[in-house]
Amino acid sequence: MRTSVPVIPRPGSAVDGRAAPSAGYLRNTGTGPAFFMGGPAIRDISDEIRQAWTPAAARTIEALQNNGWIAGGVEAAISTIIGTGLKLNANPDHEVIGMTTSEADRWSRNVERRYDARCRNAFECDASGQYTAGQMEAAHLRQFFATGEGVTQFLMFSRPGVTSRTRARLLPSHWLSRETSVSERLHQGVRIDNHGAPVSYRFRLKDGDGVHKDVEYRARDRAGRPIIKHIFDGMPGQYRGITVFAPVLKTIQHYDKLTGSTLAASFLHAMFAATIESDYPTEDVLNALGGDTPMAGFMSELSGWHKNVDIKLGDFGKIPHLFAGEKLNLQGSKFPNANYEALANFLLREIARCLGCLFEDLTGDYRGATYSSLQNGIAKIWPITLYRRQHIAMPFKQADYEAWLEEEIDAGRIEFPGGIRGFLENKTAACRAEWRGPPKPVADELKAARADEIYYNLGVRTQGRIAAERGDDISDVHEGLARERQSREDKNLPHPGDRSEEAKIGTDKAIDTEEDKP
């Protein structure tokens, strides 16, 4: 005996006679034609990178070597991020390390001078002895743009003529192994602990005979000193980086095809810049190709004629005598067409956006750009530059600085409260530092200076912040001004600030007149 269970309709259900409610993204779109095609799958970002890293890096490196826009854009981005090299501004927490403010200031100035001298000596800072610290920073950033990551090994060994033993060695990213073993917590050459922190790195190196062998280095020594510094940017669950050009690799390929095909068409059109037009019917010509006809005899005679008549458009424009019924047509170039520049610029804008620079900076084309448009563009792009300086360039410099400072304190060349033990116990406070790079670009220096003056007079911006935004250290500025003032007094020269009111008013009028000019 069967019993039926009554169905209680839910409000809004099909049984209730009303349309079933829907919530969330992409509702009512499952029947669209675009959704019948295969869609993307959600995978761990580490799996995505493991599959795409090698071809993406290879294509980007090829573009850096053969595409002038990409190579020039990367160099422009590097110059904006680090300039000639980031400058150390040591700023230790003096209360934690046990120094007074004045003691910490003197200690910082001494550390900055010693570190700057070391960074200028390639034989002292680079393990290969080839690059200064600024060149190493630039090479590290080039590696980041090409592969999405930078790898540095810190070594300690002596060299004649230099005191420091700490040296950095830049390693190509593709030397880092792609091997993955979940059971061994090895992800694309990076071995992690239970919390996901890197413990060691596995490299695939070639010996003198060209045979590959795996070598594994620890990330840090027992005291926390860096041995391998691996820097990249990404998402949670990511152990390796990927080039910033990955989203526009297809766009770069499209641009190369567009310019290549347009150039080839232009060459082809130039090669056939002149044609000979004949009045003889095409049908007769085609029939003549099929057998022995009077037309065949005519074509033979025509061929013999042209063997003895050299048709050239060069050599001072010589015009030949043509066969009866023929005329010479000069063809005008139709390439590139009217749509070429708009399409090319569209592709370049996408590349510039991914690179993190202005279209005008990438192409050098400032037609149509105004002061307002450039200022607005700089305001939008500058945070990207600061982000990459803070999270890509600075970690490399900070790791190098910490390793060098630890050795200097341990060797007694730099004094520190408590010696090396006190340093290791307060390493974070002792190594606190800021790194100065190039200032923010401005479209009009005069207007920017006036804005700084107004903000300073309003009391909402300090001289230190103004100097930092201009790429200077306020302490260095004050020391330089003091030296200049003393030098002027020794030579009985007037000071720039001691001008008369009439001279100041005259200068202000000249500036205002300059601002009014279009």
**Nearest in space to 403 (alpha carbons), one of 422, 426, 431, 429:** 431
**Nearest in space to 116 (alpha carbons), one of 105, 128, 108:** 108
Which pLDDT does position 316 carry in this prediction?
45
For CA atoms 210, 212, 215, 219, the dihedral sign is positive
357/361 Cα distance (integer angstroms)? 7
290/360 Cα distance (integer angstroms)? 60
- Mean pLDDT is lowest, of 11-25, 42-56, 97-111, for 11-25
Give every CB contact of residue 54 below 8 A, 6+ residues apart in sequence.
174, 178
pLDDT digits (tens, 9 = 90+) for 139-175: 999 999 999 999 999 999 999 989 899 999 999 999 9
Enter the pTM of the model: 0.75
Q: Tell me the CA distances in angstroms from 447 to 372, 509, 512, one per residue in order.
A: 12, 15, 11
Q: Tell me the CA distances in angstroms from 495 to 301, 487, 498, one per residue in order.
A: 95, 10, 5
Average pLDDT over residues 172-187: 91
Confidence category of residue 230, pLDDT binned at 50, 70, 90: very high
C-beta separation of 250 from 351 below 8 A: no
Beta bridge partners of 152: 170, 229
6 vs 240, which has greater pLDDT? 240
Each domain of the chain, given as residue ranges in start order, spans: 45-246, 274-330, 444-518
Confidence category of residue 491, pLDDT binned at 50, 70, 90: confident
- Mean pLDDT is lowest, of 289-293, 379-383, 442-446, for 289-293
Which pLDDT does position 211 carry in this prediction?
74
C-beta separation of 378 from 443 below 8 A: yes
Which pLDDT does position 481 carry in this prediction?
81
Confidence category of residue 60, pLDDT binned at 50, 70, 90: very high
- Mean pLDDT is lowest, of 78-92, 395-409, 473-487, for 473-487
Whether the pLDDT of residue 5 is over 60: the answer is no
Which pLDDT does position 455 carry in this prediction?
86
- Mean pLDDT is lowest, of 92-106, 266-280, 459-473, for 266-280
**φ/ψ bin of 504: left (φ > 0), alpha (ψ from -120 to 50), beta (otherwise):** alpha
Q: What is the DSSP letter of 174?
A: G
Whether the pLDDT of residue 321 is over 60: the answer is no
Which pLDDT does position 224 carry in this prediction?
85
pLDDT digits (tens, 9 = 90+) for 335-360: 567 788 888 888 999 999 989 888 88
pLDDT digits (tens, 9 = 90+) for 191-224: 999 998 999 999 998 876 777 888 999 999 988 8
241/234 Cα distance (integer angstroms)? 7
Confidence category of residue 104, pLDDT binned at 50, 70, 90: very high
Which pLDDT does position 501 carry in this prediction?
58
